[in-house]
Amino acid sequence: MDNNYIMYTYYVSLVRGLTGYYVKFMAPTEEIVRKHLSKYFERMWCSVYTPNEMVELANKYTVNVINEENPICLLTDEWEY
């Protein structure tokens, strides 16, 4: 991975039968995550959250991050590693 990028953490809420489940991403921008979701997850996602927003959600609801230890890492909207 190129060290010139600052990677930020984002959490994505899933929908339909997966309500309450989230996918963790690492990416330089939220826009990259959103483009990736539109391309690969289509209508299976709802919102993108920051770590602070996830803490607020966890205080109110049950939060299940399915890949907490192994986030999807993106430098572009394509699959990276």
- Structure tokens of 24? 């963790």
Tokens of 19: 């309500």
Predicted TM-score (pTM) of the model is 0.87
- Residue 6 · residue 26 · CB < 8 Å: no
What is the tens place of the pLDDT at every residue in 50-78?
999 999 999 998 899 999 999 999 988 77
Residue-wise pLDDT tens digits, 30-57? 999 999 999 999 889 999 999 999 999 9
The answer for residues whose C-beta is within 8 angstroms of residue 54's C-beta and 6 or more apart is: 11, 22, 63, 65
Q: What's the confidence (pLDDT) of residue 80?
A: 64
Q: What is the pLDDT of residue 3?
A: 57
The token duo for 64 is 């299940």
